[in-house]
Amino acid sequence: PVYEATCTAPVNIAVVKYWGKRDTSLILPTNSSLSVTLSQDHLRSLTSARCITSGGADARDRLWLNGEEEEIKQGGRTERCLSEMRKMRKEFEASNSSLPRIADFPIHIASENNFPTAAGLASSASGLSALIATLSTLYALTPENGVSVSDLSRIARQGSGSACRSMFGGYVAWEMGLKDDGSDSVAVEVAPVEHWPDLHALILVVSDKKKGTPSTAGMQRTVATSALLQHRIKEVVPARMQRITTAIQKRDFDAFAEETMADSNQFHAVCLDTFPPIFYMNDVSRAVIQLVTELNRASVEKGEGVKAAYTYDAGPNAVLYVQEKDVKQVLELVLRYFPQTTESFPDPFNLGAKPASDVPQGFNKAVIPEHEVGAVARIIHTKVGDGPRVLAKE
Ligand code: DP6
């Protein structure tokens, strides 16, 4: 028999950022975080795994990423995920005599992203969550068999912290947990995609070069040196998690946007408070913040409420969260300021957005600095989406 499974898993972009570990081996965070899962129709990792049942004595676990074989390092994150999933399968086999004994077979895994790794998007979240979704399908470690998605998220977390949040669709919290063994540090669904389906995301790819301080190293430098991080962890994030959860439950975009932008700002502030300091945003990133701030100010003045929320991860690229009713207007304003993006912008929503010929009423052009032409390499337009999908199982 053939034992094989294929799954896809989504990207997620945090609105309350994870930054700092209290245990670097188990990947336990210093604060809870919350993210929006983005649609796999546009961005996804696809992973297949197969048990090698007929291999010779030299058969072993092997991994291919985007077509290139990668070493599975002893004691590394991938190995840890594999061994945790095997352990669970073994327990399942021990409790159910009719199951085939497949836990000890070597596994071959092939994974690919449908977006360039250089797009500046974290591929670890979708990649590691696709790995866990695929192994859970292969091993039948599913909710029907008593393994919850949060149980699986506990293992995905050990592959990459943010990966645990990609195990769910919609709006997802990673509860930091208090236990030393990490058993309560899991992802939970705050609301499914159907609860608030019209939230769009515009990813402004300011730079597609992979550079700067990797998040894994950067966050531990922050833990070691930033006093502001301690304030953030204790005084800011717990209350913000509550407020943004309420905002999502009420579909209150203004409150959601306020918390999202404040949290991005504070994340980048703790990076500056790190020694040596970490700079992720550049001049273009800051110009986008000024554009969004002025758009929001002008529209609130007109009584229309907030139009967009910006957030930045460990790089210069902006992610704008926008409600469906406003997305064309926001996109056209972005295209007005970064007109070189039109050609490289195949909008999957077919909005037919063109650079705005004028700014919205009340918008003060003087607050936006002269932009550099060519500054935004491209825009990816997507929206909130569902969790990992099973494509095939044999
Ligand atoms: C800025 O999950 O990539 O995107 O756990 O070391 O793999 P590791 O780090 P990772 O960090 C993500 C940091 C962030 C914020 C976030 O996604 O919450």
- The interface pTM score, or ipTM, of the predicted complex is 0.99
pLDDT score recorded for residue 338: 82
Q: What is the distance between the alpha carbons of residues 72 and 18, in angstroms, rounded to a whole number?
A: 26
108 pairs with which residues across the strands? 50, 62
pLDDT for residue 289: 96
Q: Confirm or reject: Cβ of 33 under 6 Å from ligand 1.
A: yes
Tell me the CA–centroid distance for residue 337 and ligand 1, in Å: 30
**Mean local confidence (pLDDT), 80-98:** 97
224-252 pLDDT, tens digit each:
999 999 999 999 999 999 999 999 999 99
pLDDT tens string 273-307: 999 999 999 999 999 999 999 999 999 999 999 99
Residue 128 CA to residue 53 CA, distance in Å, equals 24
Res. 344 pLDDT band, cuts 50 70 90: low
- CA 162–ligand 1 middle distance (angstroms): 5
End-to-end CA distance of the chain: 9
> Residue 229: its pLDDT value, please?
98
Q: Is 27 in the pocket of ligand 1 (CB under 6 A)?
A: yes
Cβ atoms of 170 and 197 closer than 8 Å:
no
Question: Would you say the CB of residue 7 lies under 6 angstroms from ligand 1?
Answer: no
- How far away, in angstroms, is 132 Cα from ligand 1 center? 17
The pTM for the full model equals: 0.96
Residue with the nearest Cα to atom 12 of ligand 1? 162
Q: Is the CB of 29 under 6 A from ligand 1?
A: no
**Strands 4-10 vs 44-51: parallel, antiparallel or unpaired:** antiparallel
pLDDT (tens digit, 9 = 90+) per residue, 119-142?
567 679 999 999 999 999 999 999
Distance 24 CA to ligand 1 centre (A): 12
Q: How far apart are CA 322 and CA 200, in angstroms?
A: 5
50-85 pLDDT tens trace: 999 987 777 899 999 999 999 999 999 999 999 999
**247 in Cβ contact with 257 (< 8 Å):** no
- Best residue among 23, 128, 162 to mutate for probing ligand 1, ranked by most atoms within 8 Å of CB: 162
pLDDT tens figures, 203-232: 998 877 777 899 999 999 999 999 999 999
Ligand 1 in contact with 189 (CB < 6 A)?
Answer: no
CA–centroid distance, residue 64 to ligand 1 (Å): 22
What residue's CA is closest to ligand 1, atom 5?
Answer: 161
If you average pLDDT over every residue of the chain, what do you get? Answer: 94
- Binding site membership of 18 for ligand 1 (Cβ less than 6 Å): yes
Report the separation in Å between the CA atom of 61 and the middle of ligand 1, taken as the mean of its atom positions.
26
Distance 194 CA to ligand 1 centre (A): 26
pLDDT of residue 117: 66
